[in-house]
Amino acid sequence: MSLQNASMKVTHFIINGFDTVKSPVAVGVVILIIYLVSIVTNLLNILFVISDKRLHKPMYILICNLAIVDIMYISSASPTMVGVLVAGVNTISYLECLIQMFVFHLGGMMERFALAIMAFDRLVAIIYPFQYHSYLKNTRILLYTYISWVVACGFVVVLPATVAPLPHCYSSLRYSFCDYAAVVRTTCVDPTYFFNIGAIIYSFLLFLTFIFICLSYCVILIFAKLSSSNDKKKIGSTLVSHLICVICHYCPAFVIIVLTRLGVVLTLDERQGLLIANILGPSVVNPFVYCLRTKEIKHKIFMLFKKLQVLRYNEKKCKP
Element (H, E) at 12: strand 12-15
Q: What is the pTM of this model?
A: 0.88
As beta bridge partners, residue 168 has: 8, 187
Does residue 59 fall inside a structural domain?
yes
Does residue 190 fall inside a structural domain?
yes
Along the 320 residues of the chain, how does pLDDT read in single tens digits?
Answer: 444 555 778 889 999 888 888 888 999 999 999 999 999 989 988 888 888 788 888 888 999 999 999 999 999 999 999 999 998 888 999 999 999 999 999 999 999 999 999 999 989 988 888 888 888 889 999 999 999 999 999 999 999 999 999 998 888 888 888 989 889 999 988 889 998 998 899 889 999 999 999 999 998 888 887 776 776 777 777 788 888 889 888 988 888 777 766 666 677 777 788 888 888 888 998 888 877 666 666 666 666 666 666 666 555 666 55
Does residue 64 fall inside a structural domain?
yes
Burial class (CB in 10 A: 0-12, 13-18, 19+), 314: exposed
Round to whole Å and give the CA distance between 300 and 41. 13
Round to whole Å and give the CA distance between 269 and 248. 20
Does residue 210 fall inside a structural domain?
yes
The two most distant CA atoms of the chain are separated, in Å, by: 83
Cβ(48)–Cβ(41) below 8 Å? no
Round to whole Å and give the CA distance between 150 and 73. 16
The CATH number assigned to the domain holding 73 equals 1.20.1070.10
Cβ(294)–Cβ(241) below 8 Å? yes
In this prediction, residue 30 carries a pLDDT of 93
The secondary structure of 50-81 as a DSSP string is HH-GGG-SHHHHHHHHHHHHHHHHHHHHHHHH
**CA nearest neighbour of 15 among 82, 108, 74, 72:** 82
Round to whole Å and give the CA distance between 245 and 44. 18
Does residue 1 fall inside a structural domain?
no
> How are beta strands 172-173 and 91-93 bridged, if at all?
unpaired
Does residue 212 fall inside a structural domain?
yes
Angle between helices 192-225 and 94-127 (to 10 degrees): 20
Round to whole Å and give the CA distance between 107 and 116. 14
**CA nearest neighbour of 163 among 146, 184, 177, 144:** 184
Does residue 6 fall inside a structural domain?
no
Question: CB count, 10 Å around CB of 57?
Answer: 18
Does residue 2 fall inside a structural domain?
no
Angle between helices 295-318 and 24-51 (to 10 degrees): 100
Domain hosting 77: range is: 12-317
Domain count, the chain: 1
In this prediction, residue 1 carries a pLDDT of 42
SS3 91: strand
